[in-house]
Amino acid sequence: MTDTFRALVLRETEGGKYAARLEQLMVDDLPAGDVLVAVDCSDLNYKDGLAVTGRGKIARILPLVPGIDFAGRVLASDDPRYRAGDRVVLTGWGVGERHWGGYAQRARVKADWLVPLPSGLDSRQAMAIGTAGFTAMLCVLALEDAGVQPGRAPVVVTGAAGGVGSIAVALLAHRGYQVHAVTGRVETHDYLRALGAAEILDRAAMATPCRPLEAQRWAGAVDTVGGSTLARVLAETYEDGTVAACGLAGGGDLPTTVMPFILRGVRLQGVNSVAVPYAKRLAAWERLVEDLPLDLLETMTTVIPLAALLDWAPKIVDGQVRGRVVVDVNA
C-alpha cells in the first residue's frame, strides 16, 4: 500500500537517547499485524508522557510510535472476528511500549488486542475513558469483589484529579459510595465535587509518615500514587477493607509493615490493566457504559491535536493535567 499518514515517532539520537517528532509514514512502514485500523483518537496517560519525554523507561524498541490506547475503524483484517468498517478499541498489551501504538493515523495490531467499540460510545468518548478509565473500573470491580459496599464507611481515592482518579471518583459516587478525594491542587476542588466527591483531602497530609496502624477511616480505597500515601491509606483502612492499588506516581517504595494485613485483615489488591483477558475486558467496558455518566466524562476531558503532544507530555508527567486528555490524531 502507498497510503501515507502522520505519526509521532520516537527515534534514537546520539548518546543512546531518543527524540519525538512528527513524521509522514507509509502503511508499509507499520509492523506486521492482523488488523489495519484508521485511528480516530488516542489519549494521553502518565505512561505516555514518560514515553514521549524520555523521562521513564517506557519505550522498549526504537523507532516507536507511542500511545498506549486508540480507537478507530478497521480498514483491513486477516482475522475473521473483524471486518472492514468495524469500530474497535485498544488499550494495553504493551502497545506504545513494545509495539507501535496510537499516536498515528494508522495502526496495525494483533486482533487479540482489540475489542469492539462498546455500544453507546463513540471513539472520542472511548478514548476519554481509555486505559485510565478502564483501570479505574477494574479497581471498582476489585472493591466490589472484595465485599466493599456503600454505606459502611467512606472510600478514598488518591491522585483524584488525575485521569484514573477522576473516573474512579465519578464511578464510585455514581454507585452510592461516599468518596473522599485526595489532591494537592486547590483549583481542582470544585471539579472533584462536581464529579461526586463528598470530601477533599490534602495530598501533603496524606503523604506524611504514619504509624503502622492509625485510626480507621476507610472501607476501601483506590490508590493511584503508591509510596507513603499508600502506606497511610493501608494504616487507616478498616478491618477486612480492601485497597486497590494501580499506580506509583508517588514512588515504588512502600514504607509499611505487615500490621494492617495481619491485625486488621486489610487486603492490598494490585490492579494491572495491561493484559486483561477478553471476557473480563468486555465486562469492564460494559460496566463503564452503564456506570459512568457521559456528561461528567465530558467535563473532565480536554481534546488536543496530535502536534500538541510535544507540549502536553511534560505537563502530565509534572502533574499539571486535570482529568483526561483525548488526542485527535486527524486534527
Distance between CA atoms of residues 212 and 186, nearest Å: 29
Task: Supply 172's cell numbers.
Answer: 464510585
8 touches 22 (CB < 8 A) = yes
CA distance 124 to 42: 8
Q: Which residues 6+ apart lie within 8 Å of 174 measured at CB? A: 196, 291, 292, 293
Rounded to the nearest integer, the mean pLDDT of the chain is 96
pLDDT for residue 106 = 98
- What pLDDT score does 249 carry? 85
Give percent of the chain above pLDDT 90. Answer: 95
Residue 92 contacts residue 274 (beta carbons within 8 Å): yes
Pairwise CA distance, residues 240 & 132, whole Å:
27
Tens of pLDDT, residue by residue over 278-301, are 999 999 999 999 999 999 999 999
Q: What is the CATH number of domain 131-270?
A: 3.40.50.720
Task: Please tell me the distance from the alpha carbon of residue 103 to that of residue 69, in angstroms, as a whole number.
Answer: 9
Average confidence (pLDDT) over 261-268: 98
Q: Is the pLDDT of residue 167 over 80?
A: yes
Strands 324-328 and 35-43: antiparallel
Q: How many CA atoms lie within 13 A of 99 on its CB side?
A: 19
Tens-digit pLDDT profile for residues 135-147 = 999 999 999 999 9
Q: What is the pLDDT of residues 192-231, one digit of tens each?
A: 999 999 999 999 999 999 999 999 999 999 999 999 999 9
| Alpha carbon distance 209, 198 (integer Å) | 25
pTM: 0.95
Name which of 135-144, 249-258, 300-309 the model is least confident about: 249-258
Closest by Cα among 308, 306, 321, 324 to 135? 324
Cα–Cα–Cα angle for 138, 177, 222, rounded to 5 degrees: 40
Question: What per-residue confidence (pLDDT) applies to 269?
Answer: 98
Lookup: cell for 226 = 503508591
Cα–Cα distance measured from residue 80 to residue 78, given in angstroms and rounded to the nearest whole number: 7
Which pLDDT score, from 0 to 100, does residue 251 have?
A: 87
**Residue extents of the structural domains in the chain:** 4-117+300-328, 131-270
Mean pLDDT for the stretch of residues 53-82? 96
Instruction: Please give the CATH topology (third level) of the domain spanning 4-117+300-328.
Output: Quinone Oxidoreductase; Chain A, domain 1 (3.90.180)
Q: Where are the beta strands (DSSP E) in the chain?
A: 4-12, 18-26, 35-43, 69-77, 87-91, 106-109, 114-116, 155-157, 179-183, 199-202, 218-223, 237-245, 267-270, 301-305, 324-328
Residue 1 has pLDDT above 60, yes or no: no
